[in-house]
Amino acid sequence: MKIGIVGGGASGALVAAHLVRSGLPKDAISIFDRAGLVGSGAAYGASTQNYLLNVPAGKMSAYPDEPGHFADWLVQRGLGIEGEVSAKFVARQWYGQYLRELIQGVSVISEDVSLIEFQSGQFKIGDRDFDHLVLALGNAEPTLPPQFARFQDHPGFRNSPWRNLPAEIRSEDHVLIIGTGLTMLDALCELSARGFRGQVTAVSRHGFLPQPHQPTTPVPYTGTTTLRTILKYIRKAEDWRAAIDGLRPTSQKIWKEFSLREKRQFLRHARPYWEVHRHRAPAQTYQLAQDWIRTGQLSIQLAANFDPGQSSFDWIFNATGPNQRLASRAVPVIESLVERGLASYDELSLGLDPFSLNPGLHAIGTLTLGTHWECTAVPDIRNQAAAIAAQILQARP
Ligand SMILES: Cc1cc2nc3c(=O)[nH]c(=O)nc-3n(C[C@H](O)[C@H](O)[C@H](O)COP(=O)(O)OP(=O)(O)OC[C@H]3O[C@@H](n4cnc5c(N)ncnc54)[C@H](O)[C@@H]3O)c2cc1C
């Protein structure tokens, strides 16, 4: 049996790790990645240790049934202290290294896959045939909001600072960051570690910052699955973190039960609030932003009021986050599948409908956003990876 995986980020690496752990020979698996890398992707290929995981190490194990696996790996490598490391937000690049070690020996093909064909029960990428193909395309580069299009030709413009900030930034420079989410906070951490003393202007539609993590005990949600009752439940909760975390075990089910109208309403009205409460920042990172706001080094502005006036910026970073509308991006490899009737977009056009996929074809992570919603972070992706690996192995002759 031959398995092809398109995308070598965390999702692709996690599927391979689950297959290998279940006994599939490594030489049965091929990972295609446009950068020829595995385990890095958008999140874990950072070249700096100042970009931290936004999930504690104790929740980042590759294997749901071995929750301490990543924390133990950190301790074995001398990167953490036993008993303490599970609650820590460690450098994201270590997670990339962890994933790479799990699948050492699996073949990685450096190729930007743009066409998948299906003939005689086999998926074809070039002249290679596969019985199963896993689509793990992950996060797309951010799209610059039209309001900021004029900055695109600026020599200091970078469309995404996910790997790191330019080394040439001087201590007194003026930095404009478009977006005030987790990527903006990453940039502050890096600037702070470099001893940056200049000014940062950050601008976004709502001006919200991600909320900080704090220890909490989730309160399981048992109400009805309508958008209205869920929002009311979160608003009235004594501890909103306990309420949001209490929704997590059932959030995929809740999303499935929402009507199409509710899903659209959520995306239009509630999403910005959801994102900053659900995807939290390590407390020290949040504190850094607050300190910089207090001293005036960081100014947060609303996009609607943003007027650069006489200000000139040395650097401009698009930190608006991945473009999450698959259909609007016209991704060639996806179009090739849709045109051949091997896959369809979901009803919201955010990703693929996993139930529409030709037998033998699988989708994981952000590609399943419209169907599962809660599927972009490792605690969810690893469950998807385990399920896909089990499905593939079950089909083994
Ligand atoms: C900056 C950032 C930080 C994050 N931090 C965390 C965190 O701390 N904890 C957490 O749980 N989640 C985090 N996330 C969420 C993140 O989505 C996942 O953890 C993880 O990165 C998802 O991995 P992925 O493989 O699905 O996608 P990606 O990381 O985007 O990887 C996809 C890979 O597929 C390749 N690819 C795409 N298309 C093709 C093609 N046609 N042919 C060949 N190769 C292709 C890409 O080049 C890339 O290497 C973060 C996300 C971002 C953007």
Query: pLDDT digits over 309-360, tens only?
Result: 777 999 999 999 999 899 988 999 999 999 999 999 999 999 999 999 999 9
Whether the CB-CB separation of 151 and 20 falls below 8 Å is answered with: no
- For ligand 1, atom 10, the nearest C-alpha belongs to 377
- For ligand 1, atom 52, the nearest C-alpha belongs to 43
Ligand 1 atom at minimal distance to the Cα of residue 367:
26
Whether the CB-CB separation of 59 and 67 falls below 8 Å is answered with: yes
Going from the Cα of 356 to the center of ligand 1, the distance in angstroms, rounded, reads 23
Going from the Cα of 215 to the center of ligand 1, the distance in angstroms, rounded, reads 27
- 225, pLDDT greater than 90: no
pLDDT, residue 183, reads 97
pLDDT, residue 272, reads 93
Going from the Cα of 293 to the center of ligand 1, the distance in angstroms, rounded, reads 30
- For ligand 1, atom 25, the nearest C-alpha belongs to 9
What does the pLDDT average to over 5-33?
97
Ligand 1 atom at minimal distance to the Cα of residue 112:
42
- 263, pLDDT greater than 80: yes
pLDDT, residue 81, reads 86
Ligand 1 atom at minimal distance to the Cα of residue 89:
8
Q: CA 360, 361, 363, 367: dihedral to nearest 10 degrees? A: -160
Instruction: Say how many CA atoms lie within 13 Å of 319 toward its Cβ.
Output: 28
- 255, pLDDT greater than 80: yes
Q: What percent of the chain has pLDDT over 90?
A: 92
What does the pLDDT average to over 57-80?
96
Going from the Cα of 139 to the center of ligand 1, the distance in angstroms, rounded, reads 5
- For ligand 1, atom 50, the nearest C-alpha belongs to 43
Q: Which residues line ligand 1 (CB under 6 A)?
A: 6-12, 32-35, 41-43, 53-55, 92, 112-113, 136-139, 162, 183, 322, 333, 365-366, 376-378
- For ligand 1, atom 37, the nearest C-alpha belongs to 137
Report the range of poorest mean pLDDT among 64-73, 211-220, 295-304, 355-364. 211-220
pLDDT, residue 308, reads 79
d(CA 167, CA 43): 19
pLDDT, residue 307, reads 84
What does the pLDDT average to over 371-381?
96
176-180, 248-252, 308-312 — which one is most confidently predicted on average? Answer: 176-180
Can you read off the two tokens belonging to residue 255?
């999303």
- 288, pLDDT greater than 90: yes
Q: Are strands 199-204 and 298-302 parallel, antiparallel or unpaired?
A: parallel
| Domain ranges in the chain with CATH number 3.50.50.60 | 3-140+323-394, 146-211+280-318
Residues near 397 by beta carbon (within 8 Å), at least 6 away in sequence = 1
Q: What mean pLDDT, rounded, does the chain reach?
A: 95
Fold designation for 146-211+280-318: FAD/NAD(P)-binding domain (3.50.50)
User: Which residue of 378, 383, 384 sits with most ligand 1 atoms within 8 Å of its CB, as the best mutation to test the pocket?
Assistant: 378
- 397, pLDDT greater than 80: no
Please report which confidence band the pLDDT of residue 83 belongs to, taking 50, 70 and 90 as the band edges: confident
User: How many CB atoms sit inside 10 A of residue 137's CB?
Assistant: 24
pLDDT, residue 387, reads 97
Going from the Cα of 186 to the center of ligand 1, the distance in angstroms, rounded, reads 16
User: Which residue of 34, 139, 278 sits with most ligand 1 atoms within 8 Å of its CB, as the best mutation to test the pocket?
Assistant: 139
Q: Which whole-number Å values give the CA distances from 109 to 26, 128, 384, in the listed order? A: 14, 11, 23
Name beta bridge partners: 334: none
Ligand 1 atom at minimal distance to the Cα of residue 322:
53
pLDDT, residue 223, reads 87
- 1.10.1740.10, 3.40.190.80, 3.40.190.10, 3.50.50.60: CATH of 3-140+323-394: 3.50.50.60
- For ligand 1, atom 47, the nearest C-alpha belongs to 34
Ligand 1 atom at minimal distance to the Cα of residue 113:
42
- For ligand 1, atom 15, the nearest C-alpha belongs to 377
pLDDT, residue 309, reads 75
Can you read off the two tokens belonging to residue 2?
């031959």
What does the pLDDT average to over 223-250?
92
Of the candidates 127, 187, 172, 142, the residue with the CA atom closest to the CA atom of residue 42: 142
pLDDT, residue 187, reads 97
Going from the Cα of 99 to the center of ligand 1, the distance in angstroms, rounded, reads 13
Going from the Cα of 2 to the center of ligand 1, the distance in angstroms, rounded, reads 24
Q: Give the model confidence (pLDDT) of 184-206 as tens digits.
A: 999 999 999 999 999 999 999 99
* Strands ordered across the beta sheet of 122-125: 117-119, 122-125, 128-130
Whether the CB-CB separation of 187 and 319 falls below 8 Å is answered with: yes
- For ligand 1, atom 34, the nearest C-alpha belongs to 7
